[in-house]
Amino acid sequence: MTTTVDDLLAQTGLTTTNTNGVISLNNQNKNKSKPVVDDDSDDDDKPPPPFKMPRAPPHVYSCFVVNRTGQPIECDIYYNGRPEEDTFNEVVHVTIPAKDEKFFPRKIFQPDLPESYCRWVKIITKIYVKKQNGKTLEINYPFENVHQPIRNWEFHIREEGEILSKPPTRPANILKYENLDEYER
C-alpha cells in the first residue's frame, strides 16, 4: 500500500496552496471562521507606506543656568549617560550667586574601553534648584521649546514662577570648540 503526500495531508486536515512558487500549509479545520490568507503572495500592488525620517531627539548637551533672583541659589544638574544604565550618570552641584549665571559644559565618556573607542555625550535630563527661601524648582527632560539636539541652552531662574527654558541668546560658536580635542571638533 502506497500513501501519497496528498493522502497524508487529507488525514491531518492540512491543504497545500501553491502561489507564486511558494508552498504553504493551511489548516482548514482549525480556523473555519477565518478565511485562509496567503501572506506570501505578490498579488497586491499596494505601494509601501512612505518613508518618514524619525525626529531628532530633543537632547540638551550643555547649558547656562541664569539666576535672575536677588539671592544665591543651589543648583543640581543631572547628566545621563547610557539609557537604562546608571553607571555613567552624574550630578553636578553648584551655588550660583544672585544675578549671575553658570555654564555647564558638554560631558563626554567612553563606556566600552578597551574594546571600543567610541565616545558618547551625556544628556542633561534634570535641573533642580533650591532657593534661599526653601522653595524648590525642578524641570525635567524633555525640556520645553527644545526640538533637536542642542548645546548652550538656557534655563532662567526667576523670583516668581517656574524655571524658564529658553533657546541660546549668545552665539554658539563662542563656546562650541572650547576644550575639545582633535577628535571632537
The SS3 call for residue 123 is strand
Which pLDDT tens digit goes with each residue over 133-181? 999 999 999 999 999 999 999 999 999 999 999 999 876 544 455 555 6
Contacts with 123 (C-beta within 8 Å, 6 or more apart), sequence order: 59, 60, 61, 79, 80, 141
Beta bridge partners of 101: 66
Region of 79 (left: φ > 0; alpha: ψ -120 to 50; beta: rest) is: beta
Contacts with 170 (C-beta within 8 Å, 6 or more apart), sequence order: 152
Q: What is the pTM of this model?
A: 0.67
Which pLDDT tens digit goes with each residue over 17-71? 555 544 555 555 555 555 555 555 566 678 888 889 999 999 999 999 999 999 9
Grid coordinates belonging to 74: 543651589
Pairing mode, if any, of strands 108-109 and 120-121?
Answer: antiparallel
- CA–CA separation, 170 vs 62, rounded Å? 13
Cis peptide before 114 (omega within 30 of 0): yes
- CA–CA separation, 43 vs 49, rounded Å? 17
